[in-house]
Amino acid sequence: MFLIGITLSSCDLIKIKGDSSESNAQRQPAARANNSYLYKDELIGIVAPGTPPEDSARLVEAYINSWIKKQLLIQEASRKIDINEAEVERKVLDYRYSIIAYEYQNYFVNKNLDTAVSNAEIAKYYNDNIDNFILKQNIVQARFIKVPQNAPRTNKIKELIYADREQEERELKSYCLSFSAAYHISDSTWMVFDDLVKNSPLAEIPNKIQFLKTNPYYETSDNNFLYFLKVERYRISDNVSPLEFVRDDIRNIILNKRKVELVKKLEDDVFKEAKDDDDFEIY
């Protein structure tokens, strides 16, 4: 709608002067803003086929109100300042060409992008740019369980939270699904510590670095809940992030670099081909 608005605005500058032409005499107006008219045939395509009537009416009303506001603003601008319509049209054309080029670049990238990123590539990028992966927050591999004060068998939680056998882990997960208000028991996954313990008394600990260093296991409570935390590993802020924590970020960085390279290749290839075929001249 933003793009449509820009395009319509440029056309509206012309409509202000041209709406009184005889060619519009047979058209049915849908709205008027001083001497500018929005016609019903211009509303075609605003609403997608199959849209419920009440939604259709709401969409058309919103479009008409937006059109009126734009017209009034344009007319006000025309009265208060000198508008270089040629410059406006040039900017609209530049923007239009940029959109077309952007769409084609996206098409080319989507068609040609290799999305396979190997673990070796990720590890190499990590090692080559390790200074870029300094932690801004404390992260942990941990188990965290929050249960109501009246939950059954809470004395069993400490035993299960240390579970490393498959049967015990299944029992812990089953317990959490049945009784916990929140839980995270995948202690092989790195998480931001503050995110893990939000909405708990642990979030209010003043010195979290010292807490992590001295509390591999911790229990606490408030008026409504019991909280159980077992920290398997931790990394303190301002230290290098473990590769596993930034793996997805690195994959996205590599893919974005490939996209940039593809766009540059497209531009260079189009330019070279046009130059070889003598398709352009500079005077």
Structural domains of the chain ordered from first start: 2-91 (no CATH), 135-235 (3.10.50)
> Could you give the C-alpha distances from 166 to 97, 170, 281, in angstroms and in order?
60, 6, 72
Residue 249 CA to residue 243 CA, distance in Å, equals 10
Residue 230 CA to residue 196 CA, distance in Å, equals 12
pLDDT for residue 25: 73
Percent of the chain with pLDDT over 90: 75
In this predicted model, what pLDDT tens digit does every residue of 187-225 receive, in sequence order? 889 999 999 999 999 999 999 999 999 999 999 999 999
Half-sphere exposure of residue 157: CA atoms within 13 angstroms, side-chain side: 28
Q: Model confidence at 281, in pLDDT bands (50, 70, 90)?
A: confident
Token pair belonging to 247: 């793996």
Q: Is the pLDDT of residue 14 over 90?
A: no
Q: What is the mean pLDDT of residues 258-272?
A: 96
Percent of the chain with pLDDT over 70: 92
